[in-house]
């Protein structure tokens, strides 16, 4: 082959690669729908009934309805996010299953895909970014893909900047299963303290960890509404302190964990919370749980004796009515 022919081949390859890049980069983006279909609204009803009723067995029917609604209108950010959340719920509470199929890991991949759509369609909703980051981190961990894991981690940092009151918890929660002596776990626990500080607007006394003096700040408006209970997460407040207490126990600080756990009792709805007995047992068993929470979670592990993030109620502790 002559030099002239070589140059022509190289030029052709460069041009082809360039055309491919330009074609992809200039492709029109999906534009978010401004209205939602009747099918989407109907699917939402099953979505919320399943979640608030802790009906894990209804995940597949809910997924069918929600995915069908999404496929009918792939520009619906809410439908995309709901599909993503159902996949996250299924893999997060897999301790409910009698046998654990290997394909349960596909839920992480699908959650990432649908949360990515939700972020693309509604980039101003920082909740979707936090969920996308979590799904990305979970998927990267499952497949031992360090590049994907790092992408998820830095996405978490971006989500915290976008909405700290919401995503400090999200980020810390997904990283709470890291080894207790790891820097990422220590950062995750620090994020929980920062979350409290951001919610009340000042640095909370970390020795007493008493939240009683801040209960008058409860609100349903603005960015700090996610610090409290809501129709979406009826026991968000209780669930937050259950998880943070678990993280403190895992760190070895079970004495302060008992005080943090105790803050959940301040909620006006504590008596209706389905997991109050779990919390009371946590307070009683805090010293013994240090080693349990640090041990690897296995398929036969008791779902109610694991850290909240690894338990059979990892989503429902906040969302079940």
Cβ-proximal residues to 113 (8 Å cutoff; 6+ apart), any chain: 84
Does 14 reside within a domain?
no
Query: Same structural domain for residues 155 and 64?
Result: yes
Query: Same structural domain for residues 194 and 76?
Result: no
> Tell me, what's the pLDDT at 106?
98
Query: Same structural domain for residues 297 and 214?
Result: yes
Question: Range of 210's domain?
Answer: 183-321
Query: Mean pLDDT, to the nearest integer, of 30-38?
Result: 92
Percent of the chain predicted with pLDDT > 70: 93
pLDDT at residue 301 is higher than 70:
no
pLDDT at residue 13 is higher than 90:
no
Does 8 reside within a domain?
no
Does 97 reside within a domain?
yes
pLDDT at residue 3 is higher than 80:
no
Does 7 reside within a domain?
no
Give the CA distances from residue 318 to residues 110, 192, 226, 287, in Å, rounded to whole numbers and listed in that order: 23, 16, 11, 24
Query: Mean pLDDT, to the nearest integer, of 70-79?
Result: 98
Instruction: Report yes or no: 272 and 52 within 8 Å, Cβ to Cβ.
Output: no
- In angstroms and rounded to an integer, the radius of gyration of the C-alpha atoms of the chain is 22
Query: Same structural domain for residues 194 and 141?
Result: no
Give the CA distances from residue 309 to residues 55, 84, 93, 141, in Å, rounded to whole numbers and listed in that order: 18, 18, 9, 15
Average pLDDT, the chain: 93
Q: Looking at 162, 192, 213, which one is the last position of a domain?
A: 162
Query: Same structural domain for residues 129 and 74?
Result: yes
Q: CATH number for the domain including 124?
A: 1.25.40.10
pLDDT at residue 157 is higher than 60:
yes
> Tell me, what's the pLDDT at 21?
74
Structural domains counted in the chain: 2
Does 25 reside within a domain?
no
Q: Looking at 162, 193, 214, which one is the last position of a domain?
A: 162
Query: Same structural domain for residues 208 and 320?
Result: yes
pLDDT band at 280 (very low <50, low <70, confident <90, very high): very high
> Tell me, what's the pLDDT at 28?
80
Query: Same structural domain for residues 48 and 138?
Result: yes
Instruction: Report yes or no: 111 and 91 within 8 Å, Cβ to Cβ.
Output: yes
CA distance 83 to 92: 14
Does 115 reside within a domain?
yes
pLDDT band at 161 (very low <50, low <70, confident <90, very high): very high
Query: Same structural domain for residues 50 and 142?
Result: yes
pLDDT at residue 24 is higher than 90:
no
Give the global pTM.
0.91
- More reliable by pLDDT, 301 or 181: 181
Query: Mean pLDDT, to the nearest integer, of 166-195?
Result: 97
Query: Same structural domain for residues 300 and 209?
Result: yes
pLDDT at residue 71 is higher than 90:
yes
Question: Which residues of 227-304 form beta strands (DSSP E)?
Answer: none
Cβ-proximal residues to 99 (8 Å cutoff; 6+ apart), any chain: 299
Does 173 reside within a domain?
no
pLDDT band at 11 (very low <50, low <70, confident <90, very high): low
pLDDT band at 217 (very low <50, low <70, confident <90, very high): very high
Query: Same structural domain for residues 298 and 220?
Result: yes
pLDDT band at 167 (very low <50, low <70, confident <90, very high): very high
pLDDT at residue 17 is higher than 90:
no
| Cα–Cα nearest to 74, from 23, 113, 126 | 113
> Tell me, what's the pLDDT at 14?
63
CA distance 58 to 85: 13
pLDDT band at 9 (very low <50, low <70, confident <90, very high): low
Query: Same structural domain for residues 303 and 223?
Result: yes
CA distance 78 to 185: 31
Query: Same structural domain for residues 304 and 220?
Result: yes
Does 192 reside within a domain?
yes
> Tell me, what's the pLDDT at 49?
98
């Amino acid at each position: 082959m002559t030099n002239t022919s070589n140059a022509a081949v190289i030029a052709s390859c460069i041009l082809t690669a360039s055309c491919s890049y330009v074609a992809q980069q200039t492709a029109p983006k999906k534009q978010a729908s401004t209205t939602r279909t009747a099918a989407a609204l109907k699917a939402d009803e099953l979505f919320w009934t399943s979640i608030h009723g802790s009906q894990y067995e209804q995940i597949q029917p809910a997924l069918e309805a929600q995915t069908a609604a999404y496929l009918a209108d792939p520009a619906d950010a809410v439908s995309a996010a709901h599909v993503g959340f159902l996949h996250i719920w299924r893999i997060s509470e897999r301790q409910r299953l009698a046998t654990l199929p290997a394909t349960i890991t596909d839920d992480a991949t699908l959650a990432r895909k649908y949360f990515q759509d939700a972020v693309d369609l509604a980039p101003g909703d920082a909740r979707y970014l936090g969920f996308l980051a979590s799904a990305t981190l979970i998927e990267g961990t499952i497949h031992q893909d360090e590049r994907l894991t790092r992408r998820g981690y830095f996405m978490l940092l971006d989500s915290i900047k976008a909405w700290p009151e919401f995503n400090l918890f999200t980020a810390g929660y997904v990283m709470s299963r890291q080894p207790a002596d790891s820097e990422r776990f220590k950062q995750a626990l620090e994020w929980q303290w920062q979350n409290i500080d951001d919610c009340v607007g000042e640095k909370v006394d970390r020795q007493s960890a008493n939240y009683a003096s801040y209960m008058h700040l409860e609100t349903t408006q603005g960015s700090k509404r996610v610090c409290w209970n809501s129709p979406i997460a009826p026991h968000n407040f209780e669930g937050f302190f259950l998880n943070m207490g678990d993280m403190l126990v895992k760190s070895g600080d079970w004495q302060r964990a008992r005080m943090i756990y105790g803050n959940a009792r301040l909620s006006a709805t504590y008596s209706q919370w389905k997991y109050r007995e779990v919390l009371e047992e946590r307070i009683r068993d805090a010293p013994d749980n240090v080693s349990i929470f640090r041990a690897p979670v296995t398929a036969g592990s008791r779902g109610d004796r694991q850290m909240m993030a690894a338990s059979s109620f990892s989503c429902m502790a906040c969302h079940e009515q």
